[in-house]
Amino acid sequence: MARDADTSVDGLLLVDKPQGWTSHDVVARCRRLLGTRKVGHSGTLDPMATGLLVLAAGKATRLLTYVTGHDKSYDATIRLGESTVTDDAEGEVTASADASGLTDAAIRAAVVELVGDILQRPTAVSAIKVDGQRAYARVRAGEDVVLQARPVTVARFDVHEVRRTGTVVDVDVTVDVSSGTYVRALARDLGEALDVGGHLTALRRTRVGALSVDAAHDMAALAAQVEEGAGIDLTPLDAAAKVASTSRLWTQPPRRCCRRSRSPRLRHAPLDSAKCCPAAVANWGAPPRVTITPRTLSPSTHSARRSRWCGQPAQMCAPSSSSSRRLPQREEAAQWWGTMTR
């Protein structure tokens, strides 16, 4: 039985998504359990997949923009020797080959080529829009869809076990990837690299940023809690803001600072002092020097926000027409929500 409508429900909820459920199914169920329609998630999981789905309710839905871009970890099983239209086990097999002759060394060597900053062609059956229409809708309509490759980062691609059954080979792996990476596409590309084809047969998301599936709730357990009248404990706004702002690490300072500074950008690269003034390099990683009050970014506040990155006095950083840009996604997010919830 769903709880009465409560507009004060705000916070994060970690859910262990069951197999066969869509991400929208989980959101719809949690809306009923929490008694509010304002529930969203930070990243879709395919129905076949299980694992961590980060939900937010009430005011915490504004934090999802920060959580969505976090890096993610997955445990997966790749089947070599068969290709499917969807690059996973839910699609029709389009080609098969004898993969029994593949050695463990050959598989691991092909995996190495997929680690690092790569260009990945997303799977055709995806939610990416092509001329205003979802790619999966075009595929279902009989079109041959080939999406453009996009840059992604595979920080880790570990092979755990290799099992051989007839002409196919199943490979258990763990991957750490950047946001926007398709693990299905990694399975496809590994099969193509070995000239036998490949697809994904199992997928479990174990981590989103600093959030682990070990802390996630089972859907059946959540329903039982509500039935018993115990309610559901959400991560409060202040704690949720800290999680959202600290789960994602900044690895490079802004390209420009002081008078024409920009918000910092994520980079998988070390600090490059040649692209920043000495003051910015000396103060990189230091705690914020000012308190951010969003919604009312006056010229003085905007100047103070800029001075946090280069360490120069606020009056030395003149405001510009870029004052409407969004806040940097780090400690400022926590300060923002701390101000809103006081």
Pair of tokens at residue 146: 């080939």
Distance CA 290, CA 88 (A): 49
Distance CA 61, CA 70 (A): 16
Distance CA 41, CA 12 (A): 9
Write the CA distances from 119 to 55, 153, 186, 189, integer angstroms.
30, 9, 11, 11
β 198-208/39-41 pair status: unpaired
For the chain, the distance separating the N- and C-terminal CA atoms, rounded to the nearest angstrom, is 33
Can you say whether residue 5 is alpha, beta or left, with left for phi > 0 and alpha for psi between -120 and 50 degrees?
beta
Pair of tokens at residue 287: 């705690």
Of the candidates 290, 282, 120, 82, the one whose C-alpha atom is nearest the C-alpha of residue 197 is 82
Distance CA 294, CA 269 (A): 30
Q: Is 1 helix (H, G, I), strand (E, B) or coil?
A: coil
Residue 155 CB burial class (10 angstroms; 0-12, 13-18, ≥19): middle
- The DSSP output letter for 132 is T
Which residues lie below 8 Å from residue 215, measured CB to CB, with a gap of 6+?
14
Pair of tokens at residue 251: 């690895």
- The residues carrying an active-site annotation are 46
